[in-house]
Every structure is written in C-alpha cells, then in structure tokens.
Amino acid sequence: MNTPSINKAKIRNKEIVNKINYEIDDKYLNIGKNKTYYIKTYGCQMNERDSENICAMLESIGYSRIDKYEDADFIILNTCAIRENVHNKVFGMLGRIKHLKETKEDVIVGVCGCMSQEEIVVNKIKDKYKWINFVFGTHNLHKLPEIIFNSINNNRQEIDVWSKEGDIVEGIPIHRENKYKAWVNIIYGCDKFCTYCIVPFTRGKERSRDKEDIINEVKELVKEGYKEVTLLGQNVNAYGKDKYDNYNMSNLLNDISKTNIERIKFVTSHPWDFTDDMILEIKNNKNILPYIHLPVQSGSNKILKLMGRRYTKETYLELFNKLKDNIPNCSITTDIIVGFPGETEEDFNETLDLVNECKFDSAYTFIYSPRSGTASSRLIDDISIEEKENRLYKLNEIVNKYAREKMDKTVGNIYKVLVESESNKNGMLMGYTETGKLVNLKGDISLIGKIIDVKIIESRTWSLYGEHIQ
Ligand code: 5AD
Ligand code: SF4
C-alpha cells in the first residue's frame, strides 16, 4: 500500500525527470471483457484530459462505456481537490454508489485524481469507505490496468498513491471526447505554491514534456482533421524552464503555429511569467487565438501578497494593458477569489475597482476554501460565510454586467466560428468564436467541423445567435 504524504509532496529537488513509454502486460488485456464502465470527472481541463486516457486504457482491456452508473460493472471517479464543495460532491456521489454496492456487490469502484493525493481523503477512505476497491493518484495514472488487476486478484482495498511525481509517460492510449478540438498537455505540475492552492501538492513539481513530442502530437492532430488545440498546464508560461536553456513558451507557440493547426489556445497563464515574446507570438501568428485566461485572484496588493501571487495590482494592469494594446480584439478572462483570510471591505472594493477597470470578457469567481496542508490554511479564516456570499454576489453582478456588454457589442459583426455539433436549441448548430463565445446558428449538419463566417444577430448573457454568411 502506498499512501500520500503532504510533506513529501512539498519537496522540490533537482532530480532529472525521465521519459518512459507506456506499456501494457498481456495478462491485463481481458480484465474488462464483456463488462461496462462508468466514469465521472470533476474539476479542470487537466482532469478531463486525464479521463480521456483513463477511458482509452479501460477500453483497451475490454470495458465499454455506459452513461448510467447504476448499470455499470466498474465505476471510476476522477476527482478534484481545489475547493471543499467539490469534495462534498464526490463524497455525495460515493454515498449513492455505496447504496448500489449493497445490492450489487461485485461492482468495482475506484477513486483517482487530485483528491486521492490528499492525506486526509485517503485516511477517510481507509477508515470509513472500506468498500471502495481501489485508489490511485495523479502520478501513476498509467498503472491503471495493473491496479485494477491487483485489486481484483488480491481481493482487498488497493491503495497506490505516489506522493512524489514520477516520470513523464508518453504513449498512453487516448480516447478524445471531441473530434475537432483537442487538449494537449505541455507541462505537468506547479512550483508557484500560491498560499491557498492545493495543486502543487496534488500534481507535483513542474515537468515539461519534450518539445518534439508536443509538436508531433499536434502534427498528428492536424492529419486527423482537428481544427483546434488547447495547450494545457497549471502554469503554461513556465514551459521549458525545467528542461531547456534556450527554449520557452514563446518558442513553443511559434513552433506549434507552424504546424498550421487552425486554432491554438493555452491555459492557464500565471501573470508572473507572461513574457513580451509570448505577446509578440500571439500578435504575429493568426492561428494563435486572441483569447487569454489571466487569473488575477484579487485587486488588493495586501491580499495578493498574502496569496503569494508574486505581482501587484499595478504590474497586473500593466500586463493587461500591454495585451490589449498589442493584440487586436483580444479577449481576457480571469479567476477571482473572495473572502481570503484578512480581506477587509476595503480590499474587496479594490477587487471591484480592478474589475471595473479591466471589464473582463468573463470571470470565474470563487469563495475562498481553506485546503489542508496549504500555507493559507494556517491563517485565521476570519470572514463569516454570509459576508463571503455577499461579496461573491456583488462581484458576480459586476462581472456579469461586463460579460453581457461584451456579448451585446458583437451584434451585427461577423466572426469565425468553429461549428462543433448540433445545439440543444431545436434544429440549430453550435460552435465557438475565436474568443470562446458560444454561438447558436441555423445551418446544415454538413457545416459541423468547419470554421465558417457567422453574422451575430442576437446576444444573451452566455450565448449568441447568428447566421452563416457565405
Ligand atoms: N479556494 C478558492 N478558490 C481557489 N482556487 C484555487 N484554490 C482555491 C481555494 N483554496 C481558484 C483560483 C484558481 C482556480 C482554478 O481556482 O481562482 O485560479
Ligand atoms: Fe495553484 Fe498558483 Fe499553481 Fe495556479 S499558479 S496551480 S493557483 S499554485
């Protein structure tokens, strides 16, 4: 049994990260023959991307996917640890699965993802959820077939969570969810240690993939007809720093642009290492979309310092304005946390001022949630839940006002839209503009998978309606 340790997960050292290729032993190949699986994914794009590997590994050993957990022979939850409310959702789901297991004893249940990397979660599972068959973490995803095999053969709860990140594993099978848009990992882990954030503990130190592996993956995607890639990392701007002396995120953007994939996006960017060279690449390459997610977290310098964010309101604004000045029609979105320990009414008002100044295209807003083991969890959480909710409400009102204004301004204009699928609005298609705005439009299904010109005729807060211009 390998259980996680928050202290070991904190350690950063200079050990070389090796690259290995995924391999599967023949003895695992029939584990899931004639059996079904159900997967539920919580959290960020990184988890969605991991689930695409999990699905393909399960399918490679015989399982086939179904949408109702009640009917499945195998259930896996890919979890997220970022806030307590996600924890609660996962434990709520486990409660429902426990009921199922009371009448359907031989269903196999596994938990993976970021929550599995948390000491308190694994201790709770060992004590109170003995019926869960196996738990594994983010660093040994590629071991899934072996973990299932061991859990079935040893007939005991199998816990295999590594606290320290392992090697970079290439060649894990993948079952991509979307036929036109693909996620491409470029860097794993995070070394920033923002004081509120659990991610550096659950995802390990920063490890960049080889540039050749990334570029080849994108070239393959182009051949397969993909139109868009989103480059993924907790902090993509750190790409290359752990690996190359003279190759960084701006070089990677340039090389990926040359593959001629039609659309390139990247998330998430930390403002601290967003370089001028990156701005130039976005400006100069038509296929790098003018769409940047740039989390600010707070507009108060006092709170930014307590969060360990390494920038001030002023330097954030300087970068924000540089992006707006250099990249025509650039859309910028952000993340904001309210109710961080010590946040006064004045600090909160500074956040509102910053939102009023930046007028973000949209923002993900959160109530601060203390995470066990992080530096800020030792600060006194001194703001009442009513006050936190009140601040979130006020913030959302302003955020939504600007989001709506941005949507309204699109009416009458023509945008390039990548048509993805039929829409849930009757008889319509849906797709996204270059700046991530959802558009519903009338048109023939033969348009699916194409990038077309669409004139916007109506706007709502979260979506637009348009017509195809030929
Ligand atoms: N509490 C609330 N929000 C958090 N985030 C990360 N950690 C926490 C936390 N402990 C938010 C940040 C981050 C986004 C992915 O989640 O805004 O950018
Ligand atoms: Fe968390 Fe900060 Fe790393 Fe983002 S940059 S994953 S907020 S520690």
pLDDT tens figures, 445-459? 999 999 999 999 999
Cis bond upstream, residue 268 (ω within 30): yes
How would you write 121-188 as a 3-class SS string? HHHHHHHHCCCCCEEECCCCHHHHHHHHHHHHHHCCCEEECCCCCCCEEECCCCCCCCCCEEEEECEE
Using the atom order of ligand 1, give the atom closest to the CA of residue 376: 10
What does the pLDDT read at residue 274? 95
> 143 and 179 in one domain?
no
What spacing in Å lies between the alpha carbon of 46 and ligand 1's midpoint? 15
307 contact partners, CB below 8 Å, separation of at least 6? 194, 195, 196, 297, 298, 337, 340, 376
Does 30 fall in a domain? Answer: yes
**pTM, two decimal places:** 0.95
Are 140 and 177 in a shared domain?
no
298 belongs to a structural domain: yes
In a shared domain, residues 176 and 151: no
What distance in Å separates the CA atoms of residue 367 and residue 340, rounded to the nearest whole number? 8
Q: Are residues 362 and 233 in the same domain?
A: yes
Q: Which of 100, 127, 160 is the last residue of a domain?
A: 160
Residues 6+ apart with CB under 8 A from 55: 39, 65, 175
Q: Which DSSP helix (H) or strand (E) runs through 363? A: strand 362-367
Verify that 353 and 375 share a domain, yes or no. Answer: yes
Q: In terms of residues, how long is the chain?
A: 470
Residue 418 lies in a domain: yes
Residue nearest to atom 4 of ligand 2 (CA): 234
Same domain, 150 and 222: no
Is the separation of the CB atoms in 213 and 185 below 8 Å?
no
Q: What is the pLDDT of residue 371?
A: 94
Tell me, what's the pLDDT at 10? 76
Pocket test for ligand 1, best of 83, 237, 272 (most atoms within 8 A of CB): 83
Assigned domain for 103 exists: yes
**How far is it, in rounded angstroms, from Cα 239 to Cα 231?**
10
Classify 192 in phi/psi space as left (phi over 0), alpha (psi -120 to 50) or beta. Answer: alpha
- Residue 1 belongs to a domain: no
Cα 395 to averaged position of ligand 2 atoms, centre (Å): 22
The helix/strand/coil state of 208 is strand
Number of the ligand closest to the Cα of 373: 1
22 lines ligand 2 (CB under 6 A): no
Give me the pLDDT at residue 15, please.
77
CB atoms near residue 254 (< 10 Å) = 16
Residues 283 and 365 in one domain: yes
Residue 291 lies in a domain: yes
Q: Which of 356, 390, 408 is the last residue of a domain?
A: 408
Are 196 and 307 in contact by the 8 Å Cβ rule? The answer is yes
Gap between the Cα atoms of 210 and 401, Å rounded: 42
Nearest to 195 by CA among 8, 10, 388, 395: 10
Domain-embedded: residue 196: yes
CATH code, 222: 3.80.30.20
- Shared domain for 336 and 281, answered yes or no, is yes
- Ligand 1 pocket mutation pick from 366, 368, 376 by most atoms within 8 angstroms of CB: 366
Ligand 2 within 6 A of CB of 209: no
**Residues 66 and 107 sit within 8 Å (Cβ to Cβ):** no
Ligand 2 atom nearest to 191, measured from its CA: 3
**283 neighbors 327 (Cβ within 8 angstroms):** yes
Q: Are residues 367 and 325 in the same domain?
A: yes
Give the pLDDT confidence score for residue 461 in this predicted structure.
84
- A 10 A CB-CB count for 83 gives 19
User: In testing the pocket of ligand 2, which one of 199, 205, 307, 366 has its CB within 8 Å of the most ligand atoms?
Assistant: 199
Q: Measuring from each residue's beta carbon to the nearest atom of ligand 1, which residues come in under 6 Å?
A: 82-83, 196-197, 295, 297, 335, 337, 366, 368-369, 371
Query: What is the distance in A from the centroid of ligand 2 to the CA of 469?
Result: 42
- Domain hosting 435: range is 414-468
Spell out, as residue ranges, where the chain has pLDDT lower than 70.
none
54 and 141 in a single domain? The answer is yes
| Interval 65-103: pLDDT, tens | 999 999 999 999 999 999 999 999 999 999 999 999 999
Same domain, 365 and 455: no
87 alpha carbon, closest ligand: 1
Q: State how far the Cα of 250 lies from the Cα of 409, in Å rounded to an integer.
A: 31
- Locate tokens 């996917």: which residue? 65
For residue 313, give the 3-state DSSP assignment: helix
- Residue 423 maps to a domain: yes
Residue that is last in its domain, among 408, 436, 455: 408
Say yes or no: 221 and 182 in one domain. Answer: yes
Question: What string of DSSP letters covers 404-468?
Answer: HHHHHHTTT-EEEEEEEEE-SSTTEEEEE-TT--EEEEE--GGGTT-EEEEEEEEE-SS-EEEEE
What spacing in Å lies between the alpha carbon of 427 and ligand 1's midpoint? 38
Report the distance separating Cα 295 and Cα 316, nearest Å. Answer: 10
> Can you give the CATH number for the domain in which 420 is found?
2.40.50.140
**CATH code: domain of residue 111:** 3.40.50.12160
Ligand 2 atom nearest the C-alpha of 234 is 6
How many separate domains does the chain show? 3
Specify the DSSP class assigned to residue 297.
B
